[in-house]
Amino acid sequence: MNMREYLSREARRMQAAALRSLPPATQWPAERERRLAQYFDMMGVSAHMALTERPPLNVQVTSETQREGYRIRTLAYESLPQLYVTANLYLPDGLSAPAPGVLYLCGHSQRQKVHYQAHPRKFAQLGFACLIAETIQRGEIEGHHHGTYLRGWFNWFSRGYTPAGVELWNGVRALDLLQALPEVDGTKLGVTGLSGGGAGSWWVPAADERVRVAAPVCGTATFASHVAERTVDGHCDCMFPVNVHGWELADVGALIAPRPLLIASADRDGIFHIRSIREVHAATKRVYDHLGAGEQLRLVETPGGHSYHERSRRAIFSWFIRHLQGKEVPEAEVGDIDERPAAQESAETLRVYRDGVPADERTTTVQEYFVAPAPPPRIDTAEELRDKRAETVAYLRAHTFSHFPARPAPLDVEIEYERADGNANGGRFAFTSEEGWRLRGMWSPAQEGGQPAPALVVLRSPHDVRRESYALQETAGLDRRWERVCVEPRGTGDTGWSPSLDWHLRRAAMLTGRTIASLQVYDALRALHAVAELPGIDGRRLAIAGQEGMAAVALYAALLHGGLQAVCLDGPPATQDASSQPDGTGEAIEMLFARRVTDLPQVAGLLWPAELVFIGPRPTSYQWTEDLYARLGAPGAVRRIMEWSQWQPGQSP
């Protein structure tokens, strides 16, 4: 099996499991609350949605333009302090009572509220108050959606950060704004948008029940299709949650049920394939039917590529009139948008900031604070360490490593051959890590001492071309009483892949609730169990070693395994919160949500009293680790050596 096949298989399994088991309809409100907590978790908005008092919106209106039958306000609001969102509000004239409100979410057009202006204008002409809100990527203050897509910010996965969460929150605050307007009936709110705005038209209604009707356009597909059909490669990071709970898009739709939901999509959309769209609709319909609201869900298919069609626009206008105004206006009579050049407002008319953006804006840096990473804890006693370790491991197993199989496959350890060539004794063995994955390793027996012997397990590195990792295993100066083993986690040795796949695999793996590094942690754990079954090895006395990125894998494997005698780190990364190469190549050490509770130096510290060995220079971030070991004292010890041959297990530093 290769990694593409594996991720596609796992994505399809997740899709097949979505919404297959539903509680009785009477229990759905409680079930929705449980699911909602997971949803907020994956979108990185839990803390924000839990606020008992939201920060003031500080709405700033910068202009108002009167047109025949409606007027346009240009405004900005703060969804969080200094997180500015630029928007235009279209209000119909002659209101005798507050009008239903529509939130129009923009797609990835360079001039968003200018490009999509015909839509909110039409809503206003139909009697709705429509707020068109720009995104943090393409609004007047240009922030970042393309973290992993373009910039190599795979540490977003470790933080559990997605710009989809920011857009969700900005949308929720837009609803707050609409609801507070005297011209708007806050009990009648709807959300719609195209492409990125289509995705947002899933995110916001799922999060906020104030949305009475929703219509995502060309923003619908199964997560499984994005993996299996590689359409994830064409998508911005705002299109996905950090899928740590293994959801499908239909799970998001279940949070909208039983409220009216119209899914409009094109039948030849290159990044949202029609078969997948139909699968989302069918899976979501199971919930709507279960709740007795099947007629509240509709799929509108239109001919052509990724765009609106007159049919989808008319369907949406009619749908909103029915569910927010309580009137029946046939699609043939509702009319369409006016895209004549003469009807369009200039960019200057719709601009919010005429004299430059606010100097204190925090929109461009929202990724740095929206989901806060965990600070290093203060630990002074062995008891405090044990408590913190148990708490951290429990969180990691429930989130970062939730993809570990509940029922591990049989290891089926097999010695493929043995050798006795001078100093090159030992042999090669194979074991099953996970269904479909047969991994290999080499071992060298101890030169001295009795049997059974302790063993040092070296993790082979992905960039290891000429068996450098095996050279570590065979270093002559290592303690001759220890057996030496080198194992090949997925992505190394026989299961390696071309670097040209790195960017795709790292993004696709997240959609299946895992990362390359978290898979390698599982392989390392399985390897430790497999090594314990090799002849002549004392499975109770094991150590693990890794170079550079594999040092991060070794640290987490040691933490989850527990009881290892030593952990040897050669050039460990300073943190999991650093950027990678924009093309996805290099060290893939991100692990979903890990930075919400810990970081590599803290993982190392939680291994006390295991012996920690740093080979060569180590990042200064590990001073925290050494300080902790110094406070707790023996039997824990930290050794710093320059070469592997200098390590003598169990000796004092």
Model confidence pLDDT, tens digit, residues 196-227: 999 999 999 999 999 999 999 999 999 999 99
More confident residue, 292 or 110: 292
Mean pLDDT (whole number) for 591-620: 97
The whole-angstrom separation of Cα 500 and Cα 199 is 28
Closest CA to 514 of 426, 592, 414, 397: 592
Label each residue of 33-79 as H, E or C.
Answer: HHHHHHHHHHHCCHHHHCCCCCCCCCCEEEEEEEECCEEEEEEEEEE
Please indicate, yes or no, whether residues 50 and 138 belong to a single structural domain of this protein: yes
Name the 3-class secondary structure at 608: coil
Residue 635 pLDDT class (50, 70, 90 cuts) = very high
Domain boundary among 350, 366, 393: 350
List the CATH number of the domain containing 79: 3.40.50.1820
Domain boundary among 296, 331, 350: 350
Residue 418 pLDDT class (50, 70, 90 cuts) = confident
Please indicate, yes or no, whether residues 298 and 407 belong to a single structural domain of this protein: no
Q: In angstroms, how far apart are the furthest CA atoms of the chain? A: 96
pLDDT at 474 > cutoff 80: no
Which pTM was predicted?
A: 0.95
* Amino acid code (one letter) for 651: Q
Using left for φ > 0, alpha for ψ between -120 and 50, and beta otherwise, residue 438 falls in beta
pLDDT at 476 > cutoff 60: no
Please indicate, yes or no, whether residues 258 and 400 belong to a single structural domain of this protein: no
The whole-angstrom separation of Cα 262 and Cα 89 is 23
CB 113 within 8 A of CB 86: yes
Cα angle 75, 80, 82 (rounded to 5 degrees) comes to 65
Q: Is 9 exposed, middle or buried (0-12, 13-18, 19+ CB in 10 A)?
A: middle
The alpha-helical segments, DSSP class H, found in 181-293 are 196-207, 223-228, 249-256, 274-290
The whole-angstrom separation of Cα 363 and Cα 371 is 14
The whole-angstrom separation of Cα 455 and Cα 457 is 6
Please indicate, yes or no, whether residues 263 and 393 belong to a single structural domain of this protein: no
Please indicate, yes or no, whether residues 504 and 553 belong to a single structural domain of this protein: yes
The whole-angstrom separation of Cα 179 and Cα 188 is 9
In a domain, 315, yes or no: yes
| DSSP 8-state class, residue 217 | E
Tokens of 336: 């369409």
In a domain, 374, yes or no: no
The whole-angstrom separation of Cα 145 and Cα 135 is 9
Using the structure block, give the residue that is written with the tokens 């050279």: 471
What percent of the chain clears pLDDT 70, i.e. is strictly above it?
97
In a domain, 31, yes or no: yes
In a domain, 652, yes or no: no
What lies within 8 Å, CB to CB, of 51 at 6+ separation is: none
| pLDDT tens profile 270-297 | 999 999 999 999 999 999 999 999 999 9
Please indicate, yes or no, whether residues 438 and 331 belong to a single structural domain of this protein: no
Please indicate, yes or no, whether residues 211 and 295 belong to a single structural domain of this protein: yes
Residue 426 pLDDT class (50, 70, 90 cuts) = confident
Please indicate, yes or no, whether residues 386 and 346 belong to a single structural domain of this protein: no
In a domain, 651, yes or no: no
For the CA atoms of 140, 146, 150, 152, the dihedral, rounded to the nearest 10 degrees, stands at: 120
Residue 445 pLDDT class (50, 70, 90 cuts) = confident
Count of domains observed in the chain: 2
Measure CA of the first residue to CA of the last residue in the chain; give whole Å: 44
Closest CA to 70 of 84, 51, 50, 91: 91
Please indicate, yes or no, whether residues 342 and 395 belong to a single structural domain of this protein: no
pLDDT at residue number 438: 97
Neighbouring-strand partners of residue 640: 614
Label each residue of 92-104 as H, E or C.
Answer: ECCCCCCEEEEEE
More confident residue, 536 or 505: 505
What lies within 8 Å, CB to CB, of 76 at 6+ separation is: 59, 60, 62, 84, 85, 86, 87, 352, 353
Q: What is the DSSP string of 414-454?
A: EEEEEEEETTEEEEEEEEEEETTEEEEEEEE--SSS-SSEE
pLDDT at residue number 184: 98
H/E stretch holding 629 reads: helix 623-632
In a domain, 364, yes or no: no
Mean confidence (pLDDT) of the chain: 95
Neighbouring-strand partners of residue 613: 568, 639
In a domain, 524, yes or no: yes
CB 254 within 8 A of CB 35: yes
Please indicate, yes or no, whether residues 236 and 296 belong to a single structural domain of this protein: yes
Domain boundary among 329, 350, 371: 350
The total of other beta-carbon atoms located within 10 Å of residue 495's CB is 20
The alpha-helical segments, DSSP class H, found in 324-476 are 331-334, 347-350, 382-398, 468-473
pLDDT at 519 > cutoff 70: yes
> Domain range spanning residue 73?
3-350
pLDDT at residue number 447: 74
Please indicate, yes or no, whether residues 302 and 404 belong to a single structural domain of this protein: no
What lies within 8 Å, CB to CB, of 258 at 6+ separation is: 288, 291, 292, 293, 296
Residue 446 pLDDT class (50, 70, 90 cuts) = confident
Cis peptide bond N-terminal to 100, omega within 30: no
Please indicate, yes or no, whether residues 84 and 22 belong to a single structural domain of this protein: yes
In a domain, 367, yes or no: no
